[in-house]
Amino acid sequence: MKTEAKKRHAVLADEIRRHDHAYYVLAEPSISDPDYDRLYRELLDLEEAHPELCAADSPSQRVGGKPVSEFPEHRHAQPMMSLDNTYSFDELAEFLKRVEKRLPEAELDWTIEPKIDGLAVSLRYENGTLVVGATRGDGASGDDITGNLKTIRSLPLRLPAKVPAVLEVRGEVFMRRAGFAKLNEKRKAEGEEPFANPRNAAAGSLKMLDPKMVAERPLGIILYGLGEVNGEMPVTQKEVVDWLKQLGLPTAGKIWTGQSHADLVAAINELDIARHDFDYETDGAVIKLNDLSLREQCGATSKAPRWAIAYKYAAEQAETVLKAITIQVGRTGALTPVAELEPVLIAGSTVARATLHNEEEIQRKDIRVGDTVVIEKAGEIIPAVVEVVLEKRPKKATAFVLNKECPECKSKAAKDEGDVVWRCPNPDCAAQVRGRLEHFCARGAMDIEGGGEVLVRQLVGSGLALNVGELYKLALAEVAGLERMAEKSAQNFIDGLEASKQRDLWRLVFGLGILHVGAGVAKALCRRYATMAELLDASEEELVAIDDVGEVIAKSVHFWFGDPQNRALIEVLRKAGLNFESSIVTSSEAAGPLAGKGLVLTGTLPNLKRHEAAACIEAAGGKVIGTVSKKTDYVVAGEAAGSKLAKAEKLSVPVIDESELLRLCGE
């Protein structure tokens, strides 16, 4: 009986995969919905009767994952880099010249592909089975969101038999336009705030902790590149895309090719027209060297490849009337002017507010209340006031004068010398308190369910919580007693607080809201210090020696942890039972001859490719860094080394070649 069940399960799984590919990738349904549901139901019944059949690549795993409390960190086998941008064809021509200068003997040809406005992800297949899916994160490591990515129906969980033993594929997850509209209609009907745009909706969906909820979102994916490949692979970008398509992976469909600047301009303009018919948002065109071997010769900066660039289409603009200018107080006390606008539709969403940055920006652009202004979404995401339509200025338009006091607590505002930002100096200002609590509860920090703006405003207004330590003293009855707070929602918040006690130390450090400390710096600190106690006792000199921590950040961190009130807060959190240990700490006694060393790679090495050299360094306990500074231990220089070599010589940083690198690595 078990043999028959196994055979039937294999038949059902293959058939369901074929139907999924036909429906979600080819847009050519090959079976009716009721018939598909019957097949799927039979598969689930078999797996319920025989749990051993429920493998990682079973179609049931698209919605069968269990909720998680936190996404584990995944380190990419090869870095996921971002792209440099250009907004003009002249700058594109300069980019081509730079590449031609690096490759004077080569005949260059290019691919032009849609720049999908989504969330970058990396998929790792081992022996044809999807084992890990992760976000880009900081480029070196991201969040493991495998369970959520498995819910995307167009993404195969298993590839054909003849694939490399290890195959990493890179691409973008997006939310389909039609699905986005339906999702927002549903949210409005349920009294929830609609999403601002498809990209935010897609990113938010992938960060949900329950895959079953993610499965309800209309997500798609397009794949266009490779990471680590252990086996034979194509030699051009065009062949890569064709290969991915043959493997059943969703691709962008048409990509353009060209050799000259005129070819690229024509393709970019053609794509600009075609993109409005796509089922996903695009904000530009990606130009890449077609020959993969030439890419290795071009190399990369610390953040972006030198062989590719993104041409960004002009942001959509609209005119509207500036009705008023209000002041928003941030968690650091910054007073930010905000434009209150006549609502206007732009780039697929309604805009009623836009940042004006600071007082000097308003004066420079001569923005007045009552003006007709041009609004655009910078990067099609952030609303901004571009300029004033002076010919439409009414006679009663009034110049803006910043009231030099906090609108929340009425404290007299202050501004540091050389700074353009006015700040409220009162740390007990209700607006700053709310900002600190919201930041602490945010998904990227302590990820406390329900700890959003509405609840935080009530907690602060009622005096129940005026700092993050007091959150952990809240009782269920106190939270449930707040206005419009159901007991279930209150219980979810209390449960979220309890779950947050297990978060890694770097999340806590980030959540504390220390000036200049983002998530990346928090991780850098917690790679160096194993416990909160060690971090509390760190000197400014020790801090400044850490990669990604400069003098300004070191001073800010040392000052914050040295403040008696902040130390008292840390003690409250310790007694509340929060985790004070780092799981990402890198021991200074780590094995390897390059343990604790930072090396910079520049130029083309005679035998090792860049990623191979990086792998040698990391295997020996070292770290590859992108920029040369006094803290750099070695610069590994190859042929055509440029400004990094010059800077190393200027700072007297040791410069070594490939053979010396191999010797240091013990190879």
- Any idea which residues carry the catalytic annotation? 115
Helix (H, G, I), strand (E, B) or coil at 120: strand
Under 8 Å between Cβ of 159 and 124? no
**Residue 299 and residue 315: Cα distance in Å, rounded?**
30
Nearest to 479 by CA among 459, 498, 496, 506: 459
**Residue 201 and residue 190: Cα distance in Å, rounded?**
17
Mutual orientation of helices 2-20 and 33-49 as an angle, nearest 10°?
A: 150
**Residue 557 and residue 549: Cα distance in Å, rounded?**
10
Mutual orientation of helices 453-461 and 430-441 as an angle, nearest 10°?
A: 140
For residue 407, with 0-12 CB atoms within 10 Å meaning exposed, 13-18 middle and 19 or more buried, which class applies?
middle
**Residue 543 and residue 525: Cα distance in Å, rounded?**
8
Geometric angle at alpha carbon 606, from 605 and 608, rounded to 5°: 65
Q: What are phi and psi of 229, to 5 degrees?
A: -135, 120
Q: Residue 642 carries which DSSP code?
A: -
What one-character-per-residue DSSP string does 465-512 give?
A: -SSHHHHTT--HHHHHTSTT--HHHHHHHHHHHHHHTTS-HHHHHHHT
**Residue 395 and residue 434: Cα distance in Å, rounded?**
39
**Residue 403 and residue 407: Cα distance in Å, rounded?**
8
Pairing of strands 129-135, 141-143: unpaired
**Residue 236 and residue 109: Cα distance in Å, rounded?**
10
Polymer length of the chain: 667
Nearest to 162 by CA among 228, 77, 243: 243
Q: Residue 397 carries which DSSP code?
A: -
CA 355 from chain centre, in angstroms, equals 22
Nearest to 584 by CA among 492, 515, 507: 507
